[in-house]
Structure 1
Amino acid sequence: MVRRPTKIELIRLRRRLKLARRLHKMLRDRLTILVQEYLI
């Protein structure tokens, strides 16, 4: 029997995913800027 995640767990997971995506985008943008500065 597979335990189904509760609504609260799903909301919490979704929030964490959104945060992770935002952090990842920020890091990628910063890395791009650093690389551009290095190449110039």
Structure 2
Amino acid sequence: MRIALFGDIHANLEALEAVLEDAREQHCSDYVCLGDVVGYNA
């Protein structure tokens, strides 16, 4: 089992999509977001 950990997205959809694509290529079965999903000063 591989787990993808990510955080500090700050509403950067392009970067998030790149991270998720890489996680799929690495055959991750679970995903954990560690926070800071919305933009700065939200």
TM-score between both structures, scaled by the size of structure 2: 0.40
Structure showing the higher helix proportion among its residues: 1
Q: Which has the larger radius of gyration?
A: 1
TM-score between both structures, scaled by the size of structure 1: 0.42
